[in-house]
Amino acid sequence: MPFSEHSPDLLSSPGARSLSPKIAVLCHTGAGGSGVVATELGLKVAAAGHEVHFIGTAMPFRLTGCQGLRGPYFHQVSNFAYALFEQPFPELSAANTLTEVILEHGVDLTHAHYAIPHASAALHARSITRRTKVMTTLHGTDVTLVGTDPAFRHTTRHAIEQSDHVTAVSHSLAEETRAVFGVERPIEVIYNFVDSDRFQRITDPGVRARFAHPEEALIVHVSNFRPIKRVEDVVQIFARIASEIPARLLMIGDGPERARAFELARELGVIGRTQFLGSFPDVQTVLGISDLFLLTSSHESFGLAALEAMSCEVPVVATNAGGIPEVVEHGVNGFLSAVGDVDDMAHNALRILRDQATYQRMGQAARRTAVDRFHPSLIVPQYLAAYRRLAGED
């Protein structure tokens, strides 16, 4: 049955609460999708009554301000510099910190988000302590980019094969993992989720006026600005849109391709209507006032930023790469195009922005998709069930 926006929070029901198992979470701490998912999930799991320990090189950015006397807790991985070592050893450092947490707090299960280094570190700690189970969630580039590099191929396969349970954030990623590494083990697909209470439409014109005039379409892109995101395509699409209608572009995030995107915006004459906001912490506000989300990736395992936009009633124009079609339904809540086809994506964007009826229909459909298919009350219990199975409670 589809989830209603007025349905009770399943995570707060008495039957959903449990004081065990105790869970450690290894994750990236930045604004990338895997770190966001890991942090949001850990917070929900803690709210369901579990003792949760985050382990990382820094405080996960969405964890800041969310800790209380009952957790979740954070343990920082130490760095060690020695002249003999030409580079740091993040896997060994994380394994050592995790081992200390397991022994001190009696952690039953470690949830590793990303195969290398986190799953490998968790397996190392498991071999030392002989007491924690390891659940690994594959997020995308740990398989498609890092895992396929010859320097990490064998260690990535080992991490996948030796984990006690493996999940992937889309069917596309699960299938690609089997194809790339030749593994035959079961991989459970558990989609990412979005907090639709936090990510929702903002109708206050004063908030929108900070970024655009009333007659301008407000277009947004959010990513880590790595080559796989093809951010120059975003700028090219926007230039085509801006030549037809009044519009502004907000680029949220940072990374190695930011400078190239900035220079292209200058060359195409749209730099005055483009803002690069960097790692903007209040992304839900920007998405809540936007009119269109652009996602131009050459590969995307899921498209969490697109889902967050959809929760805010923002239609999506995206590529049909990887797991994106499992989130964005062509012609319903957005449009899909081939990778690199900026002309088609610009055409689709103008179809949405020029027709108020199409814009409203797709925006409402986007919100329904987020609430009915990707609400935390639908997704988080799947993780809790996996935890219970691993802990032997089912």
pLDDT digits (tens, 9 = 90+) for 257-294: 999 999 999 999 999 999 999 987 789 999 999 999 99
Measured distance CA(42)–CA(46) in Å, rounded = 6
Q: Which of 55-64, 201-210, 245-254 has the lowest mean pLDDT?
A: 55-64
Rounded to 5°, the CA angle 122-394-56 comes to 20
Question: In whole angstroms, how far apart are CA 210 and each of 68, 202, 248, 249?
Answer: 34, 13, 12, 13
pTM over 0.75: yes
Residues spanned by CATH 3.40.50.2000 within the chain?
10-193+375-391, 205-374
Lowest mean pLDDT among 54-63, 112-121, 170-179, 363-372: 54-63
Omega before 117 cis (within 30°)? yes
CB 327 within 8 A of CB 302: yes
136 pLDDT tier (thresholds 50, 70, 90) = very high
Amino acid 57: pLDDT = 82
247 forms bridges with which residues in the sheet?
217
**Does residue 78 or residue 53 have the better pLDDT?**
53
**Domain 205-374 listed as CATH 3.40.50.2000:** yes
Q: State the average pLDDT over residues 373-394.
A: 91
Phi, psi of 123, rounded to the nearest 5 degrees: -65, -40
pLDDT confidence of residue 314: 98
Average pLDDT over residues 345-370: 98
How does the average pLDDT of the chain come out, rounded? 88
d(C-alpha 321, C-alpha 330), whole Å: 13
Cβ atoms within 10 A of the Cβ of 360, count? 13
CATH number assigned to the domain with residue range 10-193+375-391, chosen from the 4 options 3.30.930.10, 3.40.50.2000, 1.20.1630.10, 3.40.50.10540: 3.40.50.2000
